[in-house]
Amino acid sequence: MARRSYHHGDLRGALLEAAESLVRERGVDGWSLREVSARIGVSPSAAYHHFDSRDALVRTLSAVVLARLGERLARVAGRAREQRADPQQRLIAVGRGYVRWALEDPSVASLAFNQAPEHRDGPETPLSPHPHDVLVTELDRLVDAGGLTASARPGAEFILWAALHGLATLLGDGLMRFDSARAVDREAERLVRAVLTGLAAESPGASHRPQARSAHTERLKRRDP
């Protein structure tokens, strides 16, 4: 039974909103496009005008979730800049923001990273700013301010992301616990500082570093060969 009726306006947006609610209730895989349609009181054929399959709806919702994360992290970094925080403090703010996001809405957060690499934030839904790009920008600012050497900069965004995502995953799965949200923030800060300290300690000109990439960086490379 539909929980609310859809009358007019943005059907595509209403379908995405209903799908997001179902993700929170049942996870990424526990629902169908027919259920999404029923939830807002339209026929499945109406939904197919916007999404040719459930997978297409999930891919688009994943992109929407990532876009919101990018906007959130950009706002966090912007507020820190307005407070004249140094570049390291801005990265700490971004790190805290990422961990908070992952823990506040874990089912929806997992959706963002649950798609096959070729489908994540597909070209039909460009993301601006992408969460990756926010990290890149803040790390570049740290280099410009002298807080990180240029030789340690390549790939630093992947190292920092891996650390933050690992912390968020351990906390979300209950494998690590803290007594308060403030304690989680302090742990995220410690983690960011530890990663930056480790990067700063690397030998200048170290060679044979693995070159990480993601669906997003591969897409950027295709656009700017």
**Separation CA 164–CA 92 (nearest Å):** 10
CATH 1.10.357.10 residue window(s) in the chain: 65-223
pLDDT over 70 (residue 66): yes
Token pair of 131 as six digits: 């969460």
In the chain, CATH 1.10.10.60 covers 9-52
What CATH number should be reported for the domain whose range is 9-52? 1.10.10.60
- As a whole number, mean pLDDT of residues 206-213 equals 77
Please give the residue that has the higher pLDDT: either 123 or 21.
21
What distance lies between CA 32 and its chain's CA centroid?
A: 24
How many C-beta neighbours within 10 Å does residue 141 have?
18
pLDDT at res. 115: 59
- The sign of the torsion formed by the CA atoms of 97, 98, 100, 106 equals positive
Structure tokens at 135: 């990290």
Cα–Cα–Cα angle for 78, 83, 89, rounded to 5 degrees? 75
114, pLDDT greater than 60: yes
Q: Who contacts 77 (Cβ-Cβ below 8 Å, separation ≥6)?
A: 90, 93, 94, 134, 137, 138
pTM: 0.87
Following DSSP, what letter does each residue of 180-222 receive, concatenated? SHHHHHHHHHHHHHHHHHHHHTSPTT---------HHHHHHHH
Q: Which residues contact 3 (CB under 8 A, 6 or more apart)?
A: 39
Mean pLDDT of the chain: 87
Backbone φ and ψ for 146, nearest 5 degrees, come out as 85, 10
Q: What is the percent of the chain with per-residue pLDDT over 70, rounded to a whole number?
A: 88
The correct CATH number of 65-223 out of 3.30.360.10, 1.20.140.10, 1.10.357.10, 3.40.190.10 is: 1.10.357.10
Percent of the chain residues past pLDDT 90, beyond the cut: 67
